[in-house]
Amino acid sequence: MNAFAAALRVVDPFVVAITGLASYYFRFGDIDVPVNYRTAIVAVFAVTIVVFLVMDIYRWRPDEGLRGALARLVGGWFGIVVALVLLLYATKTGSDFSRQWLAVWCALAFAALVVTRVVALSTLRILNRRGLLARRVAIAGAGRLGREIARRFARSPELGIRVVAFFDDAPQLAGTVVDGVPVRGGIDDIKARARADDVDQVWIALPLRSGDRVARLLQDLLAQNLKVRYVPDIFSFQLLNHSFTEICGFPVVNISESPLSGVKGALKWIEDKTLAIVILALIWPLMLAIAIGVKLSSPGPVIFRQPRGGLDNRQIVVWKFRTMAVHAEPASDDIPQARRNDPRVTPFGAFLRRTSLDELPQFLNVLRGDMSVVGPRPHPLWLNDYYRDKTPRYMLRSWIKPGITGWAQICGWRGETDESWKMDIRVQHDLYYIENWSLGFDLYIIMMTMFRLHGPQAY
């Protein structure tokens, strides 16, 4: 897949440039493109290279499939269009270009980029399924880790990896078939059988306690000039955004680390501040109208302030338009969640909740630095305390700032968590977002949020 991503890095900018020329011909019926149009096409050619790299468009995760790649492409292309608009505005040259040409170019380029990916991936899958590019792999270890490796390869035929044999010392596995792959013998049999089975690679998936065995196996296999890969059995740990690095010459596995540090953290900060300023500049008349509506609907303040868990579970104060009549909450911190047909909600508040307009003041929280535009939703502190020991990896949500919208919300997992399984699924979505963060992913979530403001869980 590295070759696949590398090819797209080269092809994508040329696809964008060629569709720009084609769009000019469709609009004007002429192939003699003026200098200003050629300059714009070259500029977008360069912008495509930069934006797609910054937004991590070419990262490939086999378990995502085509859908994941296209989701990132949507966000990346949206970023290019925004960059083009800003470029035209900054240079005051927008009036020099045909709006029809720009519209046709944007639509045609995006369609061509999608077709390019579909064709390339389909071709790669066909070649791999026919065995033309497939690499034959044997796995040392048919335990939990070895079987998981084989299953992932089976689900991702486009990788071109075919598992042809397991080798394991467990006597009950001798001569059996595990997940469609035969167990050819014990670990010591790999050296003799690797060549006979025409194996290209050996993947070692033995437990961490088998260090001496792994060392002996490596010595035997490297003498045969076989490519060997070692998969450390770390996946039973509580992983989040794990990575591999080298420190003082030692290979180091980062089991869990902050996913938004360094350059990524700076990009996220710029994204949040820019979006918050732009959106607030656009929606302040709407917020003013809502504030008047809240004030007229029932006595009490316009803004409701609630302590919630922020970054590292530190307390923040989240702002919302008040949607409930003023009432006395229980003396304890265990404040009931809003539920369907909640008598505390005013009629105007119910409208705000259904449309998610009550969340708009949280863009001020983003400017303050308490929240992000996209991230896990902030939960009350008592809810965090309740679920921290009941839901695995629950507190890992707090490793990044909470967001106004998020991956769980656009996938339908929002609202009341009156049953523990609902919280489990929400946490799974939140952690998927954290592990797969990119600017393109954020823009995709923001775009989908606009289509999913209203839902059955919004009450």
Residue pLDDT tens, the chain, 459 long: 566 777 888 899 999 999 999 999 998 888 888 999 999 999 999 999 988 887 777 766 555 556 667 777 887 888 888 888 888 888 888 888 898 999 999 999 999 999 998 887 777 777 766 666 678 899 998 888 889 889 888 877 767 788 889 999 888 888 888 888 899 888 888 888 877 777 888 898 888 777 788 888 887 787 677 788 888 877 666 666 666 666 766 667 766 666 677 777 888 998 999 999 999 999 999 999 999 999 998 888 999 998 999 988 899 999 999 988 876 555 445 555 555 666 778 888 888 888 889 999 999 999 999 999 999 999 988 888 888 888 878 888 888 999 999 999 898 887 766 677 888 899 999 988 988 888 888 988 998 888 876 655 554
pLDDT of residue 354: 84
Give the residue from 128, 113, 127, 6 showing the smallest Cα distance to 66: 113
β-pair partners for 178:
181
The C-alpha atoms of residue 163 and residue 156 are separated, in whole angstroms, by 12
pLDDT of residue 459: 46
pLDDT of residue 240: 65
- For residue 309, the surrounding DSSP H or E stretch is strand 303-309
Contacts of 27 (CB under 8 A, 6+ apart): 98, 100, 101, 104
The C-alpha atoms of residue 406 and residue 391 are separated, in whole angstroms, by 19
Contacts of 145 (CB under 8 A, 6+ apart): 205, 207, 231, 233, 235
Q: Count the Cβ atoms, other than its own, within 10 Å of residue 189.
A: 14
**Domains, the chain, ranges and CATH?**
2-129 (no CATH), 135-236 (3.40.50.720), 262-451 (no CATH)
pTM exceeding 0.75? no
